[in-house]
Chains A and B, each alone.
Chain A
């Protein structure tokens, strides 16, 4: 990896334990990503993936190590790093327009009201909420609320967009449409995005790189999986791609068995040089039984 737009350098998170010592959630975590990529951390609950994202956002601080973004070590939160929260976190006393305008006016404090509203409107249109500007969050469905959350994050044109399981609270259909929306917008704008998920299909559809974390406590980044699927993939025929099952099986296999046994079976794992894999079936089109089973 030559260009390191985001570089997580040896971070650790420890909490004081009841019996004096301390519990290590993860330690010596190294991870980097170039600009314009979509990265995704997958792991079981308790592996500290949310903590990693909160550290990236500046909402939490690592016990050790630093995070460098665009050549600068981060300290605290920043308008360069927008967060899309799992619970959407809209301010319920503001309208859709109010919520986005709040973010816009926080970034550009000298802008007058009309300029702020015009800027906010373009992002409301972008996520398909035209006509709902004056609704309050309580009048919106779960999917629409998260669209507002996405528009709010995009409206401040951040260097990085951070998403913490943004679609896990939504039903499958809404989740699908929103994934399409996020993929379209991030590709259009070349947005560097970092997401946390436990949904394998979501990671495969959206991410360029998938970071596999072992189980905590004492979690490590085990592997970086490069997505072998083409960049112009679509959600509908994703599963028809020759490499689909190779990738899916690799990740599932990791989550089901290897995430538990990785630390024990790989004693010489070097956290600074995590293996990069690119799962693919060499004789791709064969596996008819699997293909017909999903149709």
Chain B
């Protein structure tokens, strides 16, 4: 019996998932209680010692807690107790705003660099120096100048997502096939119309690839940035739950960060497919 590759891959995926859950469950399950320990000492050692249970939550604990969160994603019990939906919405909002500003800056600037060899050479040293700076290194400077932690986080998202977009746009624009440019030239198409009708569609797949890399980096950076600035967001939630020593909530947050990151990537992948043309 020959099954499709997709089906066989799904079977293997599920098997790996179940094996992982199984190992996790076995590793964290309750062992026989430790009766020989003196009660005084057991009190000091806490739950781990008295019931023989690991402090690391098992998959069932995480599942139950996750269900609890999913039932009430948007509750708000004050500054340190908000639903996961609200925390994620804050993070996505910051990423979205910083990313949007980066798009507005990077794509026109990328066009300029790609179309003008002079600007390419003139701006190259700045880009080369600014690009490798860790986005979080900007944080103190941002906090000092902007004086608002939330805006500083948005600025950090902007600065980290601008470079891949800028470089990919510049590369895509510069690499547009000469013959397509020549077609536009022989048809006496003006610079602006040429940029929108020939260069933009030709460079769009490369530009979208840069945007896809950027959204991935932005989502990586927002967690770290929110741990620093605090207040709201999924990054803050992770740090807050660590302080509460709720490993269960930390694991749930990690899972959700992964899922949201995947969704953001898939959205950009879909856009990329839309503008890709077969040759």
List the interface of chain A (C-beta within 8 A of B): 57-59, 76-79, 81-83, 85, 87, 89, 91-93, 102-103, 106-107, 136-138, 156
Contact = CB atoms under 8 A, between A and B. Distances in A.
Interface residues of B, number: 18
B68 interface: no
B179 A85 contact: yes
Contact of B186 (A57, A87, A91, A136): A57
B188 to A, nearest CB: 5
Contacts, number: 55
Interface of B: 177, 179-180, 182-183, 185-189, 197-198, 201-202, 275, 277-279
Given A83-B182, A89-B179, A91-B201, A136 B187 contact: no
Contacts of A136: 277-278
B187 A87 contact: no
A59 B180 contact: no
Contact of A79 (B179, B182, B188, B278): B188
B279 A91 contact: no
B278 A92 contact: yes
A107 B179 contact: no
A77 B188 contact: yes
A240 B166 CA distance: 63
A93 B277 contact: yes
Contact of A59 (B185, B189, B277): B185
B180 A89 contact: yes
Interface centre among A77, A87, A107, A156 (most CB of B within 10 A): A77
Given A91-B201, A93-B277, A85 B187 contact: no
A138 B188 contact: no
A106 B187 contact: yes
A156 B186 CA distance: 11
A57 B187 CA distance: 11
Contacts of B275: 93
A161 B201 CA distance: 27
B96 to A, nearest CB: 28
B276 to A, nearest CB: 9
Given A91-B198, A92-B278, A136-B277, A79 B183 contact: no
A77 B277 contact: no
18 contacts: A57-B186, A77-B187, A77-B188, A79-B186, A79-B187, A82-B186, A83-B182, A85-B182, A89-B179, A89-B180, A89-B183, A91-B180, A91-B198, A92-B278, A92-B279, A106-B188, A136-B278, A138-B277
